[in-house]
Structure 1
């Protein structure tokens, strides 16, 4: 509520805007629709191809299912299954492989052994896969739900049900089954089925899906003209979907809600609806050529998959058909001051060739005797309640009758504003002056014109107030007359807008030199000042940290401290750099054949190996070739579990900033602790450090009772000659 008042309340000067779904729903719509947060012309017949016939679909149900390994399973009419490895496609974008038979074997009931004649499913109508690679098959003739090991193609379990199972779905590690009793169950591979509550007033349903927030939805009278979607957790949440044969729910988006796809009879396009809270809004439909009408599924890439006579196919965006004219009545924008002269209108819109978008402006100082128009919802939606409607009334009919003109044309603003965020694909900035008398309140009315296949799209509208003050810099004799004042105010608006952009960039230029607050688009430019080349794969936070410390890092570039600090700034975790020469003279635990030390306790104490005699060395091969084994080599241990992309970024960073003559290797915590291979107590691995351990005192301590074994850090002696270790801070 506070954010609403802040967006609609008056202020001394600034901008008033309409953007986002919450703002647009305060407007009035006439043959226009709201797709997410974009205003368009209203789709004709919900923008989807429909059949003229009123016959119900009676082709049955055979819901297919994908597992987490991109295998799709499809039931056949005789109780058998077929499967297909999804992913390989032809140049036309269809699956390249043909389905293969999936023969089932073995069946053991929960009540005991069936003997040699092990029963198999008779008629599978629905499938679902869980995260444990079990395939659930619903058989209404048995009636039972069969649990199938998808890798062995063996039936692991037969779950008898109290009614005929009609549909299955999987969500968040659980599988849910819909029965005709009516009832629905929660299933898992080992546990007994859990009966879930069913509303008493709700009749039996035929399709089921569960959203990620836990709400379950069912489809009543599937395939008929009376098909209806209902929510088991909120019976008042319902949606008529005539001739719907199956539906599915996609993952929700934070501000837009979740999309639902409704498959209809063969030859009809799929319908799409957006559910936000408790309100549905239509979305562009999907075209499904050859759909058999027997069920849909979500493919691993997010597309909607269905079955045809030629195998698996994917739905594509349907060709929309729009009304050719529409209008949107904006709500009152309040400047807070009477006789406010409004400035420039800025719109973010997409206007394809053959379409147009015009704007009308109306103003007024008082709302006392205003008789606003009734608010009408976007096409295909129900009227939704809004908070404090008195803050945003619509214009009255008398205002509209006073202006019978075609409205103001918009002008494309092709200038690229410095460091501005990129616009969505197809959208551009448009401008127009406010052409109306001064007033405290301003109403914008948008006229949309298009074709049957194309529509203009409006995402955002902004109006600045008060207007520019360039008239005050001209002699008053030039604008004393009201008509001359109005003309000059509009004539100088483009110049004022250009000067305003230059001033805004000038006032914010100090932000460009601070890596903490500079726009993300300016980071590469800012890094070039200190000679730092930013890798595109680096996170934005890491880029800012590296730029902030680049000057100090480059003063010690190539030193141990500089490399270690760069790695920590990049990945946000600690790292340990070990020069190989520091490990000379040690032994390897349990490896008598080794010629180089990799296991050191503390900072130089050798563990394991035979004790050398007088005049002999424990590592003769390493002593003979000290250069090849130790010189100019170092190891980097990153105390984090990095993915492949992050590990490549770390390697590239080290390769760029290390001394050119050195060699290195990198390991992470994912490698594990390997005694004799990569474990260096006190160097790469410290036992007890940061855990409150105390040093161990011989004769006064028990090993394993909270004491540190070895030195907690490297001995800070002066580096040997030839070392590239710098003086850390």
Structure 2
């Protein structure tokens, strides 16, 4: 029995594959390869150079959108209320002095107590405390931002040089390279991150799987400045960088870092995914003073200028005009394998292009892979000698506009291109893609797949037509388009069974499959919900309109627990706030009459064709055609609309319903049923009230607890 197939596909796709390739003047952005950004050039056309010695002044935003900007030379701090801009998009706020007073009593008009001497770096926590790093006094000061009073002073053996906040946590970087956590903890706590003597800047952000990501910048503003990832133990050389800012890590896109350079230079943007840095288009920062940046509440980058606060704007991307991608060896596992067709998913704008070359060999015995990629491994890239000695012309790619049935469509902006592989038979195949672009446009390559061993239509022709090598090569390439079409039809015929199974059917075929069962799919249903609805449609439609069927449908749609309460089951029960509860007791001979109406006699008219005059039609609790659907989940407006449409379509005729969710609130007498639609327990915490921005009794608390001064 053979364990190795005679034919198959070899694919280059995803970050893991592109990391094994050698990139020359190209760059990987997530799972796409494109031309690398051009080198940054100063306004006068000369590359920026020279160290920066303008000092540091770290800014910070608090949770109330106030920016605090230190002035270390004067020993003062300014504040700006962020958010108001002019018609030109320039920040309209003017800096106001943030006067800090000492915690003490006034004696003869003076205030006792110490104050920060040289506030160098700032941080803010969720409790409205401002942290000031003061290297002169070797201490970090906590200042109440509302009372503008010093609340605590934390001393260290070494001078603090920078602060960083992440949610409610605050970290400090000391001159000896160690990092300490200040909040939320009673006493400073040494972090497990390694000490790095010479570190001058600190940035901390939340990790996607919990915890923190920490970066420090060493020798800021110098030619040999380096960015170190403390949580990874890796470093990147970034000449003349002055400060760093980071966003919370995204589980799919990774962590985004913004690195400030010298005044007049653009801000660099780095995306770290899978511990691999990717350079993104930069940010424009005119008139940047070089003394620090901060992450604004809207995730823009704020910086300081001589005219005050400004925000960095996306810069127009500029790319190199040529580049190459050297792929690693693709193994067919058979010597002298004839390779077939190449199919590429790419975005090739007008004025750009992607061409390729193919190289084959039956062995991997060479010691000069390009850029050393794969040296000593099983999948090295092409030999440098082979590349230097090759003089063949590159091959072109041809766009395939025809849609492929039962296969996912290319990503937005991308298309499929294919071409025959003109190369000698061989076990290993190397592909080299050559990119051409302009200063503002670059082609993008997402994936490439190669078929082997190619088609066998030559064997169906008389041997006299392809006995000679030149004729065989011509006919092989000439018959490749019809062979590809036949392979596509065969693949579709072999996958027809997928259309009848909702678990594996393509998303585009789900509506067609649901129509066989009489099920109408709503556009707001997620693909997983559509598949589950189709799988259970036959069972649910047998009892359509019943309590169990409606409950199961809503459970599939919301993925939460669903409780359906029929209102006639609540008759005669005690309901808080219902003044007519004693008028209808379900006790035979006391308040219950067989054949009579329950509740107010005026409501008997509702059962006739002509209602009684003056009836307000407000209370329908006494009738059996109403029910309440309670979803134990918090749903937004689009989700609520989706559930309502489902209930309207599948509920019994001449019935009405009320939809409640977990965030609807408790309304005594209208929908608060203990153990069914409400639970008594601990509520969420309250936030401190701010005069003019909060309402008492609506989630805010007047006042705030005072810090324990004895712990200072």
Q: Could you state the TM-score of these two structures normalised by the residue count of structure 1?
A: 0.78
1:2-50 CA distances to partner (integer Å, 9 max, x unpaired)?
xxxxxxx974321112223332333333333333333333433368989
Equivalent position of 2:217 in the other structure: 219
Task: State how 1:593-672 maps to structure 2 within 5 Å.
Answer: 594-595=579-580, 621-625=599-603, 627=606, 629=620, 630-631=622-623, 632-670=625-663
Cα drift, residue 151 of structure 1: 5.2
Equivalent position of 2:26 in the other structure: 32
Partner of 2:197, secondary structure, is coil
Match of 2:54 among 50, 59, 71: 59
Runs of 5+ consecutive residues of structure 1 not aligned to the other structure = 1-8, 378-382, 688-729
Equivalent position of 1:248 in the other structure: 245
- 1:152–1:12 Cα change, 3 Å: farther
1:67-126 CA distances to partner (integer Å, 9 max, x unpaired)?
44554443456513313343x66776x3665256374465438xxxx9845665454332
CA contact (8 A) 1:26 1:375 kept: no
Quick check: 1:373 aligned with 2:371?
Answer: no
Match of 2:566 among 543, 560, 579: 579
CA contact (8 A) 1:47 1:322 kept: no
- 1:668–1:256 Cα change, 3 Å: closer
Equivalent position of 1:326 in the other structure: 323
RMSD of aligned Cα (Å):
4.0
Instruction: Give the number of the structure with larger relative contact order, counting CA–CA contacts within 8 Å between residues 6 or more apart.
Output: 1
173-182 vs 677-686, greater mean Cα deviation? 677-686
- 1:67–1:389 Cα change, 3 Å: farther
Partner of 1:61, secondary structure, is coil
Match of 2:343 among 343, 346, 360: 346
Cα drift, residue 157 of structure 1: 3.1
Equivalent position of 1:170 in the other structure: 165
CA contact (8 A) 1:598 1:677 kept: no
Cα drift, residue 253 of structure 1: 4.8
Quick check: 1:125 aligned with 2:103?
Answer: no
Partner of 2:492, secondary structure, is helix
Equivalent position of 2:457 in the other structure: 470
In 2, Cα distance between the equivalents of 1:197 and 1:279?
23
CA contact (8 A) 1:372 1:397 kept: no
- 1:403–1:133 Cα change, 3 Å: same
CA contact (8 A) 1:586 1:598 kept: no
In 2, Cα distance between the equivalents of 1:90 and 1:424?
39
CA contact (8 A) 1:11 1:335 kept: no
Equivalent position of 2:203 in the other structure: 209
CA contact (8 A) 1:584 1:597 kept: no
CA contact (8 A) 1:588 1:599 kept: no
1:493-526 CA distances to partner (integer Å, 9 max, x unpaired)?
1222222223222322321222222223433343
1:504-555 CA distances to partner (integer Å, 9 max, x unpaired)?
2232232122222222343334334444343333333222222222344344
Cα drift, residue 268 of structure 1: 0.4
Partner of 2:533, secondary structure, is helix
Equivalent position of 1:714 in the other structure: none
Cα drift, residue 221 of structure 1: 2.3
In 1, Cα distance between the equivalents of 2:314 and 2:241?
18
1:228-280 CA distances to partner (integer Å, 9 max, x unpaired)?
22345676x33222221101233345576533321011110122334456654
In 2, Cα distance between the equivalents of 1:256 and 1:595?
59
- 1:685–1:599 Cα change, 3 Å: farther
1:111-161 CA distances to partner (integer Å, 9 max, x unpaired)?
xxx984566545433222223343323334555433244455554434344
CA contact (8 A) 2:133 2:140 kept: yes
In 2, Cα distance between the equivalents of 1:342 and 1:666?
61
Equivalent position of 2:228 in the other structure: 230
Q: Could you state the TM-score of these two structures normalised by the residue count of structure 2?
A: 0.80
In 2, Cα distance between the equivalents of 1:682 and 1:119?
57
Partner of 1:319, secondary structure, is coil
In 2, Cα distance between the equivalents of 1:569 and 1:303?
39
393-402 vs 333-342, greater mean Cα deviation? 393-402
Equivalent position of 1:447 in the other structure: 434
336-345 vs 638-647, greater mean Cα deviation? 638-647
Cα drift, residue 447 of structure 1: 2.0
Quick check: 1:558 aligned with 2:545?
Answer: yes
Match of 1:136 among 121, 131, 134: 131
- 1:51–1:521 Cα change, 3 Å: farther
Partner of 2:287, secondary structure, is coil
Quick check: 1:408 aligned with 2:395?
Answer: yes
CA contact (8 A) 1:16 1:463 kept: yes
CA contact (8 A) 2:42 2:264 kept: no
Equivalent position of 1:435 in the other structure: 422
Cα drift, residue 179 of structure 1: 2.7
- 1:529–1:309 Cα change, 3 Å: farther
In 1, Cα distance between the equivalents of 2:300 and 2:536?
45
In 1, Cα distance between the equivalents of 2:96 and 2:8?
67
Equivalent position of 1:705 in the other structure: none
- 1:345–1:683 Cα change, 3 Å: closer
- 1:571–1:620 Cα change, 3 Å: closer
In 1, Cα distance between the equivalents of 2:189 and 2:262?
33
CA contact (8 A) 2:366 2:383 kept: yes
CA contact (8 A) 1:365 1:441 kept: yes
Task: State how 1:426-575 maps to structure 2 within 5 Å.
Answer: 426-575=413-562
Q: How many residues align?
A: 653
Equivalent position of 1:180 in the other structure: 175
CA contact (8 A) 2:369 2:383 kept: no
CA contact (8 A) 1:372 1:395 kept: no
Quick check: 1:423 aligned with 2:410?
Answer: yes
